[in-house]
Amino acid sequence: MKNGYVYDLIIKNARIIDGTNAPWFRGDVGINDGRIERIGILEGTDSKETVDAEDRYLVPGFIDIHCHSDSTLFDYPLAESRILQGITTEIGGNCGISPAPVNPDKVKLLKDYAGHLEYNWKRLSEYLGRLESEGTSTNFGTLIGHGTIRLAVMGFEDRKPNEIEMKEMIQLLRQAMDDGAYGMSSGLIYPPGCFSDVDEMTELVKELKSYSGFYATHMRDEATKTVEAVKEALEVCKRSGVPLEISHHKVTRKTHWELDCKTTVAMIEKARREGYDVTVDQYPYNASSTTMDSNVPLWGFEGGMEKMLQ
């Protein structure tokens, strides 16, 4: 009890959804020092402040598993666009692009491609340490981007990695997982991820298993070849034994909406019945947002952004 009060704050008369998949129930929540201490009926309990929820829903903060806040949290640490939606935890490093690893010899390629950040660090642990010291209103976790790893080792070369390069990429991936990454993402419509094949992806994704990590993919196609793209993602999942998250699953070409949507959902459900850990995320509107370079032929990316502009 502090200064005669049992709690700093009581939220009363709420419909509580506790995040355990249990049905909602009516109750009160007692909070001290910013932490929930008790959930139940707290009628007659003293608190410094009381908020009457008036039968509104009280829920845990939402988790956004697919964000691109990596580069914006330094400029907008309050993350108002997230908090005002009820998002309190977000996972960055998606679509193959992450703040680390950074190869100082290729940092210009990275800045030209990803921009926004200074990239004056090498390891993910350095980036996360910087973010923690600056402070953010949201909880932030990140994946490590396959594209960022490949760029650090091979730049924008359109070819298979040789044995030495593959070992270097695996080492960078392990280092990032040791630094706290939750898994690896790919952006297979973007360079340099578009230069990879299913064997390269499987070889890297297999490394996540010992870390209990997961693989999130912005697939190779989301228009006319979505079925083939889902098939590739599922192959990586099955060969690696690592959980798969298909990012923003969609079919953008109207002529393929009905058949491809039904087919890909059936493929995913079949994989789940077979015991594979496959999930998808999706945004609830019929629009998308990406960079202009997604309209450039893949051959235009070899050598980096400057070569493309030439």
**What structural domains and CATH numbers belong to the chain?**
7-58 (2.30.40.10), 62-309 (3.20.20.140)
Instruction: Provide the pLDDT confidence category of residue 301 given band limits of 50, 70 and 90.
Output: low
Confidence of residue 116 (pLDDT cuts 50, 70, 90): confident
Joined tokens for residue 194: 């578009």
Per residue in 180-239, pLDDT tens?
Answer: 999 999 999 999 999 999 999 999 999 999 999 999 999 999 999 999 999 999 999 999
Confidence class of residue 52 from pLDDT cuts 50, 70 and 90? very high
DSSP string spanning 46-89? -EEEEEE-TT-EE-PPEEESS--GGGTTTT-TT-HHHHTTTEEE
Between β-strands 25-32 and 7-16, what pairing exists: parallel, antiparallel or unpaired? antiparallel
pLDDT band at 1 (very low <50, low <70, confident <90, very high): low
Per DSSP, 2 falls in state B
pLDDT at 310 over 70: no
CB-based contact 109:156 (threshold 8 Å)? yes
pLDDT of residue 114: 85
Instruction: Note the pLDDT of residue 105.
Output: 96
User: Please, what's the b/e burial string for 142-152 (b: 16 or more CB within 10 A of its CB; e: otherwise)?
Assistant: bbbbbbbbbbb
Looking at the chain, the number of H-run helices and the number of E-run strands are: 9, 13
What does the alpha-carbon distance between residue 79 and residue 139 come to, in Å, rounded to a whole number? Answer: 10
Cβ atoms of 210 and 174 within 8 Å: the answer is no
Distance CA 224, CA 221 (A): 7
Coil, helix or strand at residue 290 = coil
Could you please report the per-residue DSSP string of 218-279? E-S-SSS-HHHHHHHHHHHHHHHT--EEETT-----GGGHHHHHHHHHHHHHHHHHTT--EE
- Residue 309's CB: how many other CB atoms inside 10 A? 8
Residue-by-residue DSSP string for 118-133? ----SSHHHHHHHHHH
